[in-house]
Amino acid sequence: MRTAAACLTAIALVFGGAACGASSPETNSESALLADLFAGRTVLHIEIETLSQRNRALPPNWRESRDGATLASIREGGRLYTNVALHLKGGAGSFRAFNDNPGLTLNFEKYASGQTFYGLKKLSLNNSVQDPTFLNDVICRELFNRAGVPTPRAGFTTVRLNGRDLGIHILTEGFNKQFLRHYFTNVQGNLYQTHGNQEITDRLDVNSGDDPTNDSGLRALANAVEAPDPAARWKRLNETLDVDRFLSFMAMEIMLCHWDGYCMNQNNYRIFHDLGANKMVFIAHGTDQMFGTGTMRLAGGKSSAECPIFPPWHGAVAEAVMSAPEGRRLYLERLGQLYTNLFKVDLLLARVDELAGKVESALEQAGSPRLRHYQSVIDDLKVHIVQRDKSLARQLALASKPRPPRVLTPIHLSGWAPRVQDGQPRFENTTLQAHAHALHIVTKQGGTAGSWRCRVALEPGRYRFEGEIRVQQVVAPNQGGACLRISGGRAKHELTGSAEWRPFAYEFEVGSPSSVELVCELRALAGEAWFDADKLQVVPVE
C-alpha cells in the first residue's frame, strides 16, 4: 500500500477521482450506482419499513436509545431488501429518537447471508442535524481520502421511515472489513469504535476483527504515549503508530477545523490495528461541522475559521507527536503540503456549488421548507472556506519564521487572580514552610472547582508551563485533582491524595502572537492544594 507521503505526489486536483490507496469501483466489484453516489452525481431515495417490535426481543425503550435493533425492509430504485438490521445512531449532538429524525445504521447481511445494497454490506444514514448545508461530510471525507487518510465515503439520499418523510440524509460506508479492504491488505486486525471522548488508553469496543480480545496493538500505543522520556516516546510512537498516516490525519483535522475530532476533542474517530505493518492507524469520522461552521458544545460557543494550527491538543497521541521536535517539524511540513495541494479555494467553492445543486433539487422535489434558506447557508459555508484559506496562509507563514532570541527566555509569572468555577472554593495567598509565596485552594465537601489565573503574551512556538504543587487529602472522581494547564486545554495527569511538593509541567503550542491564560487548578470533592508562586514559569521549548 502507498504511504500518505507517496499519495501527496499523486493527488488529483479535481474532485471525483478515486481515493488515494482505495480500490477503484471496477476492481472492487462495486456498482456504477455507488460510483455515482460517492462522486455526488446522484441522489438515492430510500424507503424503510420496520417490522413490529413483537417480532424481536428488544429493550422496551429501543426507539429512544442506541441499544438493540429491529428488522426492516428497504426499498430503493425498485429493489426490495428484507431482514435488514436497523440500529439508531448518533452522538450527543446528533442523536434523535426513532419518532423524531433519527440517524440510522443498516446491516444488510447480518440476518440475510450474502445480501448487499449495491455491493455494500453495511451503511449509515446520518441525519445532518448539525449541518444545514448537508455538504460538510461529503466534501471533507473526499479531502481526507485524497490526503491518504482512511475515511468512509459519503453521498446523498432522501429517507422515508414508516411513511414519514425525513428529508435528506448522508449515506456513508459502514465500518467493517469491506471498508478496510480499500486501504489494507490484511484486514484481520481489530477496528476499534469510540464513544464520547474516549481515549486510546481507555477500553474500547471492537467493531471488527478476528481476535477481539487481543488488544496488544492498542496497549503498545498507549504505553508509547505515556513514556516519560521524550526521545523514548518518539521512538516507540514510530514503532507502534503509522506516523506517516497520522501526520496527515492531524493536519487534515486542523486544516478543516474539525473541532469535534480526535486531536482537539478526543471524539469522532476510529482506530485500526494494521497487522500487516503491526501499527495502529487512525480513521476519520464525524465530519459534519467543518471549516469553522459548527457549534462547539464543550467550549460553549461557535467554532471559527480562525482555528489555530497549534490548538490545545486534547488527543493523547496528537500531544505525544507534538511533544517531539521532530514530530512538530513533520506536522508543520505535512500541513503545508496538504494545504498547498488540497486547499484549492476555487475548486472547493466549485465543488460546493456542484453538490449544493443536487441537494437543492432534492429539497425542491420534496417541497421542503428548508429550500427557502438553503442558498444563504451555502453562501455562509463558502465565506468560511475563504476565511479558512486566509487564516491558514497567515498562520503557516508565521510558523515558518525563526523565533527571535528574546522569546527563548523563561518567563516568570505574576498577577495571579482567583476564579470560582464550581461550588464555593476558598482561596488565599499564604506561606508554607520554605515556600514563601503559595497560591492556596481549599475545596468543601460536596465538590468544588477553582483556579488561580494570569495572562502572558507569547510569540508563536511551543512552551512548557511548569511549577511545583502540593496536595493534601484531595478526593476527585474520574478526571479531577490539582494541575497546571492553559485555558481551553486539558492536563494529561492530575494530582490527588496527599503528596509533598512535586514538580508539574504542561506543554502547549501557540500558533500566532497571543495572550495566553495560565491556570493553576483544583477540581475535587474534598481536599486542598498549594502552588509555589515563585516557581511558576513558562519555558520556551526548542
**pLDDT for position 519:** 96
Q: Distance between CA atoms of 73 and 80, rounded to whole angstroms? A: 7
Q: Distance between CA atoms of 146 and 142, rounded to whole angstroms? A: 6
pLDDT, one tens digit for every residue, the chain (542 residues): 444 444 444 443 334 443 444 433 333 445 888 999 999 999 999 999 997 543 444 444 444 444 567 899 999 988 999 999 998 887 777 788 888 888 999 999 999 999 999 999 999 999 988 899 999 999 999 999 999 999 999 999 999 999 999 999 999 999 999 999 999 999 999 999 988 788 999 999 999 999 999 999 999 999 999 988 888 999 999 999 999 999 999 999 999 999 999 999 999 999 999 999 999 999 999 999 999 886 554 444 457 888 889 888 889 999 999 988 899 999 999 999 999 999 999 999 999 999 999 999 999 988 888 888 999 999 999 999 999 999 999 999 988 877 666 666 888 998 999 999 888 888 888 887 778 788 999 987 778 889 999 999 988 888 889 999 999 999 987 778 999 999 988 887 899 999 999 999 998 888 778 899 999 999 999 999 999 999 999 998 86
Q: Distance between CA atoms of 59 and 74, rounded to whole angstroms? A: 23
- Could you write out the DSSP letters of every residue in 252-300? HHHHTT-TTSHHHHS-SEEEEEETTTTEEEEEE---SS-TT-SEETTTT
Q: Distance between CA atoms of 464 and 410, rounded to whole angstroms? A: 9
**pLDDT for position 295:** 59
C-alpha to C-alpha distances, 151 to 23, 183, 270, 425, nearest whole angstrom:
13, 9, 10, 46
**pLDDT for position 405:** 62
**pLDDT for position 403:** 64
Output helix, strand, coil percentages for the chain, rounded to the nearest 5: 30, 30, 40
* C-beta atoms surrounding 255 within 10 Å: 26
Helices 325-342 and 243-255: crossing angle in degrees, nearest 10, is 60
Q: Distance between CA atoms of 285 and 299, rounded to whole angstroms? A: 20
> What cell was used for 135?
455538504
Q: Which of 339, 395, 388 is nearest to 514 (CA)?
A: 395
**pLDDT for position 300:** 41
**What pairing do the DSSP bridges indicate for beta strands 154-161 and 43-50?**
parallel
Sign of torsion over alpha carbons 241, 243, 245, 248: positive
Q: Do residues 368 and 167 make contact, with C-beta atoms less than 8 angstroms apart?
A: yes
**pLDDT for position 343:** 97
> What cell was used for 83?
431482514
Query: Nearest 5°: CA angle at 299, between 198 and 195?
Result: 20
**To which residue does cell 504515549 refer?**
225
